[in-house]
Amino acid sequence: MRLRPVTGGSPKEMLLLGGKPLIWHALLEAARAGFESAIVVVSPGKEELVSYLGSGSGDLPIPAVLVVQATPAGIGDAVLLAASVAEVPLGVLTPDDVTHSRLHWPRLRRAHAVLGGAAAICLRRVQPSTAHRFG
């Protein structure tokens, strides 16, 4: 709802950045990080996003499998849904946090391996005055 004035009712993942939707940039980051495919969890009402991902246009940087989150229950539930269909360890990206660096992915993979398959998370410091902008 916070972005409705900007999105005009479209999903935020479909906002354009450099002529491409944010979801495209997230998939590009995943491809550059060495992932071969993606699982995209979508909530109901995001038909535009579902249509874009399922169009088969060949425009996507990597293949994407769609999983519908029947009831929006937060990112934790979305990760559990993705993990339930993943056949290998997975990385979690959110398309509203676009980065140019992918140096964190090899570090996360090493931590995952060193910790015997345990989850690893990447954090960054933010100024206390801007912390409210980060979920």
How deeply is 44 buried, as exposed, middle or buried, from its count of CB atoms within 10 A (0-12, 13-18, 19+)?
A: exposed
> Among 37, 29, 51, which Cα is nearest to 96's?
29
How far is the C-alpha of 30 from the C-alpha of 67, rounded, in Å? 17
How far is the C-alpha of 22 from the C-alpha of 88, rounded, in Å? 25
Q: Give the list of residues 6+ apart from residue 134 with CB closer than 8 angstroms, or none.
A: 126
Residue 60 Cα distances to 2, 64, 68, angstroms: 27, 8, 19
Would you write out the chain's pLDDT as a tens digit for each of its 135 residues?
455 566 567 888 898 889 999 899 889 888 888 888 899 999 888 899 999 988 766 689 999 989 999 998 888 899 999 989 888 878 887 766 666 667 788 888 888 889 888 888 878 788 999 988 876
Q: What is 31-72 written as a DSSP string?
A: HHTT-S-EEEEE-TT-HHHHHHHTS--S-SSS-EEEEE-SS-
